[in-house]
Amino acid sequence: MRLSKIEIKGLFNLFDYTIPLENEENLLIITGPNGFGKTMILNIIYSFFNKRFYFFQKLVFESITIWTDAKRTIYIKKHIANNEIIITIDDTKNETFKYSKKLEHSIGRDILRQFPNLRQVDDGQWIDVTTDRLLQIEDLINDYPIFNQFLEEESKFKLPKDLNELLDSFNVHIIKEQRLLRRAPIKRRNSYSDRNDIYVIDTITEYAIELRGLINTHLQDSFSISQRLDSSFPKRLLNEKGHLSIEEFDIRFKALKQKQEKLKQFGLSQSEQEIPSYDEKNANVLLVYLKDSEEKISVFDELLNKLELFTNILNERRFTFKSIKIDRKKGFIFLTSKGDELSLTDLSSGEQHEVVLLYELIFKSNKNTLVLIDEPEISLHVTWQKEFLSDLLKIMELQQMQVIVATHSPQIINDRWDLVFNLETQTTQ
C-alpha cells in the first residue's frame, strides 16, 4: 500500500496544501522557501504512521486528510478548544479515535503507579531506569507486552482495530537532516538518578558496527544451512530422481560461480568451491550438489545486491584518494590510495553524509517502505547533489520504495522538475 495524496489545511494558520504523491517513479520532491513547511510535512507523515499522536497536539493545523492507493481515506482533525485530536478512517464513526491532553495525563499518572521501573522525565516521555532507555508512549505500546495489556484493560489508549491495522501496514522511515551524530541514553552508575543524561555517538561508526552484525548473521545462517544439507547429503543423493542436462548445468553453475566470486570480493568467503565437469553418468550427483550449493549461497542474495550497490555508488563518487571496502570484522572501512586504513571519522563531513545517507536508504529502509528524506544536499558537493536522484532511483528499484524528498537544492532536482511540488507556488494564503 502507498500514499496517493495528502491535504493539509491551516498549517501554521497560514497554508493550505493539496499534495499529489503518486507518479510513475513513486518519488516526490517537495521544495519551497524556509518557513513553508517542507520538513513539517515529512514529520506529519512520519508521526502519524508511527502513532506519535502527541505530535499533532503541538502542531498548528485545522485538518489533515491522507489518501492511499487502496482507496482508504484517513481524516485527522483538531479541536482547538480542548486540543483534542480526532482520527477517522473512511468517514466511519465507529472507527474514530480521540487523543487528548487529558487522556495523556491520565495515562501518565497510571504509568507511574503501575510501573515503578519507569520515571517521567518530560511531558509524554519516560525513562526505564533498568535500562536507561528513553521512551515515548508508542515505544511502551510496541515494546512492552505487559504495558500494552495494561492499556487494553484500562481501555484508554486502544486504537480501533481497523485504524491500528492500517497504520501497521505502513512502514515509514525518516532520514533527518542531522545525520552524523546520534543521541542515546547514557548508562549511569546510579540507575535511579533523575538526570536524563545522554551521550552522542558518530553515526558512521555505529553503522559500520551494524553492518558487521548483519554480515555475521548471514554467515551464521549459511553455516546452519550447510550443516543441515551436508548431514543429509547421502540420503538425498540416493533418493534423487531428477535429471540435469549439460545446458542447464552450464547455466546454473555459471550463475553459482558469479555469486561465489562476489562473496570472495566482499570477504564473505575465503575460497571458491571447485566446480566439477559435467558427466552424464553422474548427473544426479551434480544435481544434488548444485541444489545444495545454490541453497547455501542464496541466503546472501539480497545482502550481495545491497553491498554491491552501496560500494559501487560510493567508489564512483571518487572520494579524495580513498575508497570503501567491505570488511567482515569491521563492517566497512575506507582505504587511502596507498592502501592505508582511515578512521571513519577522518572522512570529511560531506563524505560522512554521503555514506550515512546511502546506508540508511540501502540497509535501514526495508522493501515497500515509505522513505522520507530531509535535505539530502547537506554538506554534499554540487556534483554529488546532481547525481543524487540517479542513485536514489537505482536504490528505489532494488528496494521497491516510495520516497518523498524535501530540499532547497536545484542541483538535487537536476532536470526532474516534473517530480517537484513547489510549496511557494502551490500554496493559498
Sign, CA dihedral 363-364-368-370, equals negative
- Residue 270 pLDDT > 60, yes or no? no
* Spatial CB neighbours of 141, under 8 Å, sequence gap ≥ 6: 51, 147, 148, 151, 157
326 domain-assigned: no
Range 57-70 average pLDDT: 92
Does residue 225 lie within any of the structural domains? no
Q: Which of 138, 158, 178 is the last residue of a domain?
A: 158
> Are 269 and 226 within 8 A, CB to CB?
no
How many Å apart are CA 6 and CA 75, to the nearest integer? 10
**Last residue of one domain, picked from the residues 158, 181, 202:** 158
In a domain, residue 319? The reply is no
Q: 251 in a domain, yes or no? A: yes
The pLDDT value recorded for residue 187 is 44
pLDDT reported for residue 139: 67
How confident is the prediction for the chain on average, in pLDDT? 84
- Give the C-alpha separation, 83 to 100, whole Å: 6
Q: Which of 299, 325, 356 is the last residue in one of the domains?
A: 299
Average pLDDT score over residue span 295-309: 93
Give the mean pLDDT of 44-49. 93
Residue 86 in any domain: the answer is no
**Alpha carbon distance 422, 19 (integer Å):** 10
Q: Sheet holding 341-342: strands in order across?
A: 322-327, 331-336, 341-342
CA dist 278 and 245 (Å) reads 9
**Most confident option among 50-59, 148-157, 333-342:** 333-342
Nearest-angstrom CA–CA distance, 161 and 167: 10
The whole domain housing 138 covers: 100-158
Render pLDDT for 318-351 as a digit per residue (tens, 0 to 9): 687 899 999 999 999 999 989 999 999 999 999 9
pTM here? 0.81
61 lies in a domain? no
- pLDDT at 239 (0 to 100): 87
- Give the per-residue SS3 of 160-190: CHHHHHHHHCCCEEEECCCCCEEEEECCCCC
Question: Is residue 250 one of the residues assigned to a domain?
Answer: yes
Total domain count, the chain? 2
pLDDT of 194 reads: 40
pLDDT in tens, 254-269: 898 889 889 999 988 7
Average pLDDT over residues 192-198: 43
Looking at per-residue pLDDT, the higher value among 240 and 32 belongs to 32
Cell (9 digits) for 200: 552522542
Residue 196 has pLDDT above 50, yes or no: no
Q: What is the pLDDT of residue 143?
A: 59
pLDDT value for 137: 64
- Please compute the mean of the pLDDT values over residues 178-183 and round it to a whole number: 78
Using CA atoms, how far apart are residues 92 and 74, in angstroms rounded to an integer? 10
Each residue of 358-371: pLDDT tens digit? 999 999 988 889 99
Q: What percent of the chain has pLDDT over 70?
A: 83
pLDDT mean over 281-310: 90
> Would you say residue 273 lies in a domain?
yes
Q: What is the maximum alpha-carbon separation in the chain?
A: 84
Angle at 217 between CA 215 and CA 221, to 5 degrees: 120
- Chain segment 93-116, per-residue pLDDT in tens: 556 788 766 555 566 666 667 777
Question: Phi/psi zone of residue 132: left (φ > 0), alpha (ψ -120 to 50 degrees), beta?
Answer: left
User: Quick one: pLDDT at residue 39?
Assistant: 95
pLDDT at 128: 79
